[in-house]
């Protein structure tokens, strides 16, 4: 029996605070909330300048979008902005529970579909089954390749990363509660610490998520406390440790998936295998001689079981670092749309985060 209930409408609100209109997506279980309307202009001559401006002047937008009561501690967002790069179809600022990231692989996979479906890039000619979308992320220009049919996205998306490299290997870090632990640090648009969960007394495939989060957070804190010099040859804005990825330790090439979990920002848990983390992990394995160019590996999320694939497609340079361009593939899906109202007399209008 069809319902006769009308679609509910909110009463008129203060026009000085327009609603935030969004499209919600997920890639391998990891959410992405894409802003359609309601965000004030993000000012700045470059994308990194826009990122700084949003952090300093528009952080209430991030909080309203991602935190409770409209979101949750693991929500992720994207604000689309103009790019200064002539080859870019769009620029994007990535938002998380603590601030603003430099790269988001699951976000790029989702935005590839979004850009094609919402007309941000021209549909390819008839018979062409893949569209290229150049997305300017804070870390640089990333090319997404979107399978399509009839001008609409269909199936998986892949992207080619910025140059990815190993920053340090076999660092000995004193992790509270775990003692001396061997850690690698690599860059895939963002810097991550990599540790085999076994070295922390955990099985990444079966341990409780809470235990994995606590262990990964302890590693991130320990690396920061050791004041290891994390630097990027192109910009100080990119020179920070984003999080820790716990792995199953299976770094040598195999046809079987290798499992990991990424904990980033303020103990935020990635539900997907982590696109920028896959990029960094591929770069690390290539650096160690465990992978050759165009050898594909599958990466499985211990949180959801979702899978991305990755491979190093060519060598590159980033400053003095030997680097690789990594191709990452995964599937994004739409989950809905929303229009979020902000009432000026709401004491919790800017959101809150339970600790």
Joined tokens for residue 186: 């690599």
**Other C-beta atoms within 10 Å of 4: how many?**
5
Q: Are 22 and 35 in contact (CB under 8 A)?
A: yes
Q: What is the pLDDT of residue 110?
A: 98
Q: What is the pLDDT of residue 17?
A: 80
Contacts (Cβ under 8 Å, ≥6 apart) of 194: 183, 184, 185, 186, 244, 245, 247, 280, 281, 284
Contacts (Cβ under 8 Å, ≥6 apart) of 52: 44, 237
Residues with a known catalytic role? 104
Evaluated on CA atoms 26, 245, 313, 318, the torsion sign reads positive
pTM: 0.95
H helical segments located in the chain: 47-57, 59-66, 105-117, 209-225, 275-287
Q: If we measure between CA atoms, which residue out of 329, 318, 327 comes closest to residue 166? A: 318
| Residue 181 to residues 142, 215, 220, 243, 288, Cα–Cα distance (Å) | 33, 11, 12, 16, 19
Q: If we measure between CA atoms, which residue out of 343, 345, 351, 347 comes closest to residue 14? A: 343
pLDDT tens string, the chain, 355 residues long: the values are 344 455 566 666 666 788 899 999 999 999 999 999 999 999 999 999 999 999 999 999 999 999 999 999 999 999 999 999 999 999 999 999 999 999 999 999 999 999 999 999 998 888 889 999 999 999 999 999 999 988 899 999 999 999 999 999 999 999 999 999 999 999 999 999 999 999 999 999 999 999 999 999 999 999 999 988 999 999 999 999 999 999 999 999 999 999 999 999 999 999 999 999 999 999 999 999 999 999 999 999 999 999 999 999 999 999 999 999 999 999 999 999 999 999 988 999 999 998 7
* Segment holding 93, helix H or strand E: strand 90-95
Contacts (Cβ under 8 Å, ≥6 apart) of 31: 24, 25, 74, 75, 76, 271, 335
| Residue 276 to residues 169, 265, 272, Cα–Cα distance (Å) | 18, 14, 11
DSSP 276: H
Q: What is the pLDDT of residue 206?
A: 96
* Radius of gyration for the chain, computed over Cα atoms and rounded to the nearest angstrom: 20
Evaluated on CA atoms 233, 235, 241, 244, the torsion sign reads negative
- Secondary structure (3-state) at 145: strand
Q: Are 213 and 198 in contact (CB under 8 A)?
A: no
Peptide bond into 314 cis (omega under 30): no
Ramachandran region, residue 38 (left: φ > 0; alpha: ψ -120 to 50; beta: rest) = left
Alpha-carbon distance of 72 to 267, in angstroms, equals 12
Q: If we measure between CA atoms, which residue out of 334, 290, 337 comes closest to residue 310? A: 290
């Amino acid at each position: 029996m069809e319902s006769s209930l009308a679609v509910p409408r909110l009463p008129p609100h203060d026009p000085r605070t327009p609603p935030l209109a969004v499209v919600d997506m997920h890639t391998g279980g990891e959410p992405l909330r894409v802003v359609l309307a309601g965000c004030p202009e993000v000012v700045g001559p470059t994308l990194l300048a826009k990122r700084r401006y949003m952090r300093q002047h528009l952080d209430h937008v991030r909080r309203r979008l991602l935190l409770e009561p409209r979101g949750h501690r693991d929500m992720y967002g994207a604000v689309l902005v103009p790019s200064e790069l002539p080859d870019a179809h769009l620029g994007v600022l990535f938002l998380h529970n603590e601030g603003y990231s430099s790269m988001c692989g699951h976000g790029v996979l989702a935005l590839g579909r979004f850009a094609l479906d919402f007309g941000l890039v021209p549909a390819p000619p008839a018979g062409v089954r893949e569209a290229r979308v150049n997305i300017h992320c804070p870390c640089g220009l990333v090319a997404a390749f979107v399978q399509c049919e009839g001008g609409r996205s269909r199936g998986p998306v892949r992207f080619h990363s910025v140059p990815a490299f190993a920053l340090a290997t076999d660092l000995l870090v004193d992790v509270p509660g775990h003692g001396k632990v061997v850690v690698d640090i690599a860059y895939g648009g963002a810097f991550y610490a990599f540790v085999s969960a076994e070295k922390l007394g955990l099985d990444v495939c079966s341990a409780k998520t809470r235990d994995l989060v606590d262990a990964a957070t302890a590693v991130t804190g320990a690396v920061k406390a050791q004041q290891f010099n994390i630097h990027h040859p192109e910009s100080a804005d990119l020179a920070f440790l984003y999080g820790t990825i716990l792995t199953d330790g299976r770094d040598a090439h195999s046809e079987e998936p290798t499992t990991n979990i990424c904990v980033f920002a303020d103990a935020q848990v990635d539900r997907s295998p982590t696109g920028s983390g896959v990029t960094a992990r591929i770069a690390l394995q290539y650096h160690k001689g465990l992978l050759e160019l165009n050898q594909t590996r599958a990466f499985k999320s211990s949180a959801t079981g979702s899978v991305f694939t990755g491979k190093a497609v060519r060598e590159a340079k980033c400053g003095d670092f030997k680097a690789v361009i990594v191709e990452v593939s995964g599937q994004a899906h739409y989950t809905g749309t929303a229009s979020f109202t902000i009432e000026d007399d709401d004491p919790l209008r800017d959101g809150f985060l339970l600790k």
